[in-house]
Structure 1
Amino acid sequence: MTLTARRATPADEAQFLAFCRDFHLEDGSPLDDAALATIGRVVAGEPLAPAYMLALNGQPVGFFVLTIGYSVENGGYDGYIDDIYLIPGLRGQGLGRRAVELAIEAARVLGIRALLLEVEATNHRAYALYEKMGFVDTKRRLLRQIIAP
């Protein structure tokens, strides 16, 4: 079984949207209208949010999105694994690790020096995987403010 990643295209929009909906429902944060509106832009090649489809033996099984920023602290471009999703039936087989490796490889190609991600406090399995893969808990709190247009 070979898990691969490729850049998403507009032809992937329906499948990408279905995966996004599943991921965000599972995560407890259903997509609102503004989030849904971004899907088309992301699969069309939004330069600050490259999106990738994950495939197992050629069949779509998930996705990830990197977002790109710039950080003095991190010495240049930094990135965020904004979302990463693998269908539930394939978890626990080492494919989640491979998906994260593919995201790291994509970040490296994009020139990202530091890669960040967030994980739900109750998702101990994912947290342990990320730590084993070299991600370090920053001991900082993530805060957010939605800025309305």
Structure 2
Amino acid sequence: MSASLRLARPEDTERVRRLVAACHEEAGLLPDPEARDAALQALLSGEVPGALYLIGPASSPLGYASLSFGHSLQAGGTEAHLEDLYIRPGIRGRGMGTEALTALAKMLGKNGVSRITTSGLRTGTSLLHRLSADPDRAPRLTLRLR
């Protein structure tokens, strides 16, 4: 299995909706479904500064990573905030999250993003603990890309 990344598009809405709902349910988040769907549509259609990447095969994604982008003086430019990193429960423990985050960091760095930050991530926390130099700060993490 490969943790290849593919930018989600509007035609992926149903697939993405199921993954996001599963992630939020597992994390104990129960946002208003209509508000979540509206935010998802804005993200997939490119109306907001962010992106959602599907992880794994296009026909049956293993998970997703959702990001928002902003400008940071501290980062010296564009910063990506990782809101969700979700791998389906049956797939976890095989390095898919690590592989996806590594590929994401490499791709974003090549495209001018200075760093990836995350805080309050409710899934993928074991991965963040492994990557963090300060385990007390996980699940907060900053990955400098350049």
Pairing 1:46-61 to 2, within 5 Å after superposition: 46-56=47-57, 59-61=60-62
Q: CA offset at residue 70 of structure 1?
A: 0.7
- The aligned amino acid for 1:13 is T
Separation in 1 of the partners of 2:135 and 2:72? 17
Q: TM-score, normalised by structure 2?
A: 0.79
Does the 8 A contact of 1:3 with 1:95 survive in 2?
Answer: yes
Deviation by residue 1:73-103 (Cα, 9 ceiling, x = unmatched): 1111111011111101110111111121122
Provide the identity percentage.
24
- The aligned amino acid for 1:15 is R
Q: CA offset at residue 111 of structure 1?
A: 1.5
Partner of 1:20: 20
Corresponding residue pairs, total: 138
Deviation by residue 1:44-63 (Cα, 9 ceiling, x = unmatched): 23451111111148631111
Does the 8 A contact of 1:21 with 1:31 survive in 2?
Answer: no
Q: Which runs of 5+ in 1 are unaligned?
A: 141-149
SS in 2 for 1:59: coil
Q: Which runs of 5+ in 2 are unaligned?
A: 141-146
Separation in 2 of the partners of 1:80 and 1:119? 11
SS in 2 for 1:67: strand
- The aligned amino acid for 1:54 is I
